[in-house]
Every structure is written in C-alpha cells, then in structure tokens.
Amino acid sequence: MSAKFLLYGANGYTGNLIARLAVERGLRPILAARKPEKIAPFASELGLDYRAFALDDETAIDAALADITVVLHCAGPFSQTSAPMVASCLRTQTHYLDITGEVAVFEEVASQDTAAKAAGVMLLPGVGFDVVPSDCLAAHLKRRLPTATRLALGFQALGRVSRGTAKTMLEAQDRGGLIRSNGALTPVPAAFKTRSIDFGQGAVQAITIPWGDVSTAFYSTGIPDIEVYAAFGTFMRVGAIALRYLGWLLKLPAVQNLQQSLIQNQPPGPTEIERSQGKSYLWGEVKDTTGKRLVSRLQCSEGYTLTTLTALKVAQKVLAGEYTCGFQTPSLAYGADFILEFPDVVREDID
C-alpha cells in the first residue's frame, strides 16, 4: 500500500499554506476538516481528495485514518483537539505530527511514548516554528556544553500572528507562566523574569513565557532548569505583567466574547508580502555548575513561512520511512542540525 498523508485543519491559515506548498512540491495530501463545506472547495481548487470528520466521533476518526500513513494535525487549539487525534493514531497505527506550541499538549503526547512504541508509530508534536528552530538550538547548545545544567532560550518574531495563534494565546492568557526547575514543570507568575537579550540586532527586553520548549527541551537535552523568553515592546511587556492581577477579569464571558470578536475581525494571518519580508531570531544560553557559559543564535525566515517548510519536510521524511517510534522532539528525531536544512537559516556561536 502506498504511503498516504492526511492534512487535518487544511482550511485554517497555516494548513492552507502547507497544502499549497505540498502541491507545489508534487505531493498529494488528503485534505481534511470537521465539516465538508469547510474543506471541499479548497480541495477542489487544488485538485485533491478530502475527508470530513469531527474529532468528537471516535469511529469517524478511525475510519478516516484507516489507510493513512501520517497525519499532520493543524487544527487548534491543540489542547482541545490533539488528544482524540493522537488516540486514533495509536489505534490505527498512524504516525502523528502537529504544529502545537502548548506545553500541556507536549506533556500529554509524551505520556503516550510507550503506547506509541507498541503501535509502531512516531508521535512528533511541534513540527513548526513551535518548536523546530528552538529545539534544534537547544540540542546544539547541549552538544556544545554537555555538562550544562541551565538553559535559557529566547525568540524575537517580527510579524503578525494568525487568528488561530491569537485564539490559542487567548485561551492561555489567565494561566500565568511556566518554567522548568530541577526537572519539574513549575508555575510562575506571568512575565516572571525580564532580561536583556541580543538576538543579533542589538539588545532588547524580553520576558519569560510558557513556550513549548519548557517541555520539549527537557526531553531533547536532559537539562533540568529551563526558561524561555520572548522579546516584546513596552506595551506588551506591561500587559503581560498586568495579567498577574487581571486573570479573574479575563475569565468573564463578556470579556472573552469581546476578545474573540476582535480576533475574528482580524485578517486570517500575515500576507504573502509580510511573510516574505519577515524574519525570526532565536537565542540560546547554557551554563554549567562551574560557571561556564555558551551562547548561540539562529536567524530564520518568518514564523509561518518556516512552519510551512518544517512541517512539510517532516511529513516527507515520515512518508520516506525516516522516523523513530515513540514520542519524539524535532531534534531527537532528526538531529540538532535539522534546522540548517532550510533556506535563510543562519546559526552562529558566540563565546
């Protein structure tokens, strides 16, 4: 039986980009979404087959995946959608990929490692900007300093976010921050720490955020203490700190509805011109108990562009039989240098 690739959530902003690039590269993914009217016109436009099934229907998911080699799941928020898709992948012996950046999702998928090995499949969440470049950077730093006990990662993404990303951020805005301390995920206040980071364009202020690497970098490197920072302007930094005190307000239905309405009125995501002109910068630092400190940086293309490239590349690798069964991170599956396979990526080591 020939290998088949199903792209769920192909009607969303990022799924749309991946589907179009797949066709450009000669692939023929089966497009999928919850409702046929959401996916049929797009599939017809690209000349592709489609399937429609809801993720609350176990029988329908299993039937849709029965002949599929690998699922690339792009329908968030993944805290709501990943578990039923992963469960079906285990039942149908289908490899699972997604583009999440949510710590809880990474941890839940990691808990399925034994089941995935028994089923003979790979579970690899986070095959987009979350967390391919940062995970590869973390693994590279661990390679440079094998004795590292502390890891700090940071990113500066220059560009707008999609509606889907905004909705995921909205869902998590009242949950505070998260770091890894002594190997354990540890809740902290929003914007727990602020530090000055030079991503290569001069120092900027960055704050801690509960980014996916708080989970994944631990599996990739074994480093017990991990923090992740994001560079924001003054307004965003002050707003993040204010979340410590306004969480109760943000839970109110009227406030939630207002924010959802504002998001829905935004464009679906960055335009093609914005994506082509955008850049993303990543920074990482490791330290060991002797005080030795090493820093490395990455410069990459705009985040959604990079997600499209990395997610499709991983899907192609799985279709070609290049995978490791069980729960994986990008660097565990494909190495610290995987990120260097993509255009416009520059890595530099700074001592």
- Assign residue 262 the CATH number of its domain: 3.30.360.10
pLDDT at 100: 96
- Short-list 87, 98, 43, CA closest to 62: 87
Residues 55 and 106 in one domain: yes
Residues 42 and 104 in one domain: yes
Residues 93 and 137 in one domain: no
pLDDT at 275: 86
CB 330 within 8 A of CB 132: yes
pLDDT at 11: 95
Q: Which residues contact 78 (CB under 8 A, 6 or more apart)?
A: 98, 100, 102, 105, 125, 168
Residue with tokens 């940062």: 134
Residues 146 and 280 in one domain: yes
Residues 123 and 255 in one domain: no
Residues 279 and 241 in one domain: yes
Beta bridge partners of 296: 284, 349
CA dihedral 212, 216, 221, 224 (to 10 degrees): 70
Backbone angles phi, psi at 151, to 5 degrees: -135, 130
CATH code (residue 99): 3.40.50.720
Number of other residues whose CB lies within 10 A of the CB of residue 158: 15
pLDDT at 175: 65
Q: What is the number of structural domains in the chain?
A: 2
- Residue 26's domain comprises 5-128+306-334
pLDDT at 164: 59
pLDDT at 274: 86
Residue with tokens 């012996």: 93
| Cα 28–Cα 29–Cα 35 angle in degrees, nearest 5 | 135
User: Rounded to an integer, what distance in angstroms lies between the CA atom of residue 176 and that of residue 103?
Assistant: 13
Token couple for 51: 């399937």
Q: In which element (H, E) is residue 107 found?
A: helix 103-110
- Short-list 89, 129, 48, 136, CA closest to 311: 129
Residue with tokens 């069964």: 325
Residues 167 and 263 in one domain: yes
Residues 109 and 27 in one domain: yes
Residues 62 and 196 in one domain: no
pLDDT at 27: 96
pLDDT at 240: 67
User: Rounded to an integer, what distance in angstroms lies between the CA atom of residue 249 and that of residue 251?
Assistant: 5
Residues of the chain with pLDDT under 50: 170
Residues 156 and 121 in one domain: no
Residues 177 and 54 in one domain: no
Residues 320 and 273 in one domain: no
pLDDT at 192: 87
